[in-house]
Chain A
Amino acid sequence: MIRGAKKITHSDWGRSYSQMVSDEFFKNFINIISLAFIIFLFVVAVFAPFIANDKPFVIKIDGALKFPLFASLNGVDYSTLLAALVGVVLFLLHRRNIKKVNPSIRGSIWAKQVGVGVVVLIVGITCLLALIPSKLDATDYKSKLKSKEASFAIFPIVPYGFARTNISEREEPPSKKHWFGTDDVGCDVLCRVIHGSRISLSVGFVAVGISGIIGVFIGAIMGYFGGKVDFVLMRFVEIMMAVPVFFLIITIVAFFPRSLLNIMIIIGITGWTGNARFIRAEFLKLRKQDYVQAARALGLPLHSILFKHMLPNGIAPVLVSATFGIAGAIFTEASLSFLGFGVAPPTPSWGQMLSQGVSATGHFLWWMSLFPGIAIFLTAVSYNLVGEGLRDAIDPRLRKAA
């Protein structure tokens, strides 16, 4: 008898806890819509250069076909595409595992697949960032088309670049030409909103990833060992919580160069306290559970007890708080950018665009605040709804009470 023998068919397999949670999650229509919107945002963010770009896909200049859009993609664009590809492949593999792979080996196979994915990502991104130079292509292809220099071109749906200024079209309200209007230097707002999604989503994910890892690690140690270890670390958590995080971030940002990575790391290393307390509470409860005692009685090593036997049973509240955390991180980034501490222009960010709603001349340009504002609002609401849906799916008792 070997593992995954053919004799056992799919219908014989039990449904794992995560499968039951996901079934419960997808029963609710609002959850589906929120998740769909987040996926839509991800698609937009990944394919932003293909949706909004002032360079055409194809252009015929002097009888020769050129592909300026593809030529202009830099290492970051390719890395984003690679990450999305790895993500989609892993998702499909996971679906396949559930259908085809025996539940007893699913975990180890999935771990291997994720491991390969992470290695591909790290190696790929390092190579892409190192090998692909960032080129500056300032050619105005639209004027070439107008001046009949080029005979034919296919532009993306939003044919404007996020850094392409056009003083003759500045501060225009929404029109057929510029659906979301233009800003004070004549950039298309829709284009900037689309490219701004990259910043918001990546800030949310990386910051929450960092705070999640730190929080889970410290919380696990506090909860499992209890006693003096718990006492000392809990005081540290309380000190961290007493610091007004937003002002700390502003102070730190003032000392370090304004880069997206710095902002992500700072939001991440200040936001772990909530996760740590959640995991601590769960682990305090779990360590008295019989199966944890049984795992200890089997002589399993500490890392296996903590992260293999306890973490999967206690991760649920952290997953829920992570979705809220993503929304929170997006808000924090928007606030920082609004105050001018965010990413440096011309890189677009939603918060920074909000702040440009009042122009230097004192006019209130409503379209410049409204559209990025709606984007922030919808993203945060979707993440919160997904978080709430996840919480209800994980804990059926909450549903009854509601």
Chain B
Amino acid sequence: MSEVLLEIKDLCVSFDTDDGVVNAVDGVSYQLRKGESVAVVGESGCGKSVTSLSVMRLIPSPPSKVLGGEILLNGENLLEFSEKKMRSIRGNEIAMIFQEPMTSLNPVYTVGEQIVEAIERHQTLKGDAAWTKAVDMLRLVGIADPDIRANEYPHQLSGGMRQRVMIAMALSCDPKLLIADEPTTALDVTIQAQILELLREIQKRNNMSILLITHDLGVVAENADYVVVMYASKIVEKAPVDALFATPAHPYTKGLLASLPILGSDKERLDTIEGSVPDPLNFPSGCKFHPRCSIGCKDKKCQTQEPPLVEDGCGRAVACWHAKL
């Protein structure tokens, strides 16, 4: 196995809101090896984006606060870095692509200019050399006529092209870790496949690690090596991708997989997980999933005691009283 690039240890992040303190991320730990893809899956508001923003140290503070834990990049704790040192890490060692390609590019500059700015910030290339590199990056991400496109404004490009530009910008400084926060959610399906294919290709070429934040299990199955399932600010299950899809252990993961459409089945309606995401200000007692769980809603233990995340020693872990690994 290759060495560990990023390790998140027991991360806790809270938000101060008008109604009280919200624990957005509660004791989350996972690691990412070099060249590996880890997917973080979960419903909206489960803390998956906050975790990734914490890695970048981009969570707005105030109102949010990192209460504890460590984020180790190559063994160094990012949470202890000065803001200046962090700026030299962002974009250079860790790059990020966002969900909305339509709004992630600055409308007043041409796309070439925006890529050049990132290159000039982190590399020694300046002026025309940086421009050449920017055009090369656009070519690499599969944009036709990159030298013409580089001179265009974002509003002249389609959503898929803008996402390619975002990827080109993120990759322009050869980062070791790419955080992709729902990179294909806003794109239509054919473009999604192209973008994911592109990410895989570049990952292989650069031996880059990808932290993929998504709620699309199809994307996970195709792209990830390891999956972290989050529910209500905690990790409920961690597993290598094949094991997770073959034998999901946690009822929530089972529910997620059951709600996927299967091609060729004659089911009239898709399965859903009953209920909705709990209010973060007022989490249920015991296992946070118990009100929506077919076993947990009847079991006293699930309702009163929170299950710990139990590891099996082969890379799988689950937090459920009734799950057997």
Seen from chain A, the residues whose Cβ lies within 8 Å of a Cβ on chain B are 1-3, 5, 7-8, 12-17, 102-104, 107, 226-227, 289-291, 293-301, 304, 308-309, 312-313
CB closest chain-B residue, reference A310: B106
Indicate if B189 sits at the interface (CB-CB under 8 A). no
**A298 CA to B170 CA, complexed, in Å:** 7
CB closest chain-A residue, reference B56: A297
Q: Which residues 70-96 of B sit at the A interface, judged by CB distance below 8 A?
A: 86-92, 95-96
**A8 CA to B98 CA, complexed, in Å:** 30
Seen from chain B, the residues whose Cβ lies within 8 Å of a Cβ on chain A are 56, 58, 60, 62, 86-92, 95-96, 98-100, 103-110, 112-113, 116-118, 121-122, 127-128, 131-132, 135, 147-148, 150-153, 155-156, 166, 169-170
Contact B110 A304 (CB under 8 A): no
Contact A227 B62 (CB under 8 A): yes
**A165 CA to B127 CA, complexed, in Å:** 62
Contact A1 B58 (CB under 8 A): no
- Pick the contact of B147: A7, A13, A291 (CB < 8 A): A7
How distant is B157 from chain A, measured CB to nearest CB, in Å? 9
Contacts of B86 in A (CB 8 A): 299
Contact B91 A103 (CB under 8 A): no
Contacts of A304 in B (CB 8 A): 117
Contacts A13-B151, A104-B151; is A289 near B121 (CB within 8 Å)? no
Contacts of B109 in A (CB 8 A): 107
- Pick the contact of A104: B91, B96, B122, B150 (CB < 8 A): B150
Total number of residue pairs linking A and B with CB closer than 8 Å: 110
Contact A12 B112 (CB under 8 A): no
How distant is A319 from chain B, measured CB to nearest CB, in Å? 14
CB closest chain-B residue, reference A300: B121
CB closest chain-B residue, reference A294: B104
- Pick the contact of A14: B90, B132, B153 (CB < 8 A): B153
CB closest chain-A residue, reference B153: A14
How distant is A110 from chain B, measured CB to nearest CB, in Å? 13
- Pick the contact of B91: A7, A12, A290, A298 (CB < 8 A): A298
How distant is A7 from chain B, measured CB to nearest CB, in Å? 7
Contacts A1-B131, A297-B56, A299-B121; is A291 near B106 (CB within 8 Å)? yes
6 closest A-B pairs by CB: A299-B90, A298-B91, A299-B91, A297-B96, A14-B153, A290-B104
Contact A296 B100 (CB under 8 A): no
Contact A297 B91 (CB under 8 A): yes
Contact B147 A8 (CB under 8 A): yes
CB closest chain-A residue, reference B139: A1
Contact B105 A298 (CB under 8 A): no
Q: Output the residue of B62, B92, B150 with the most chain A CB within 10 A.
A: B150
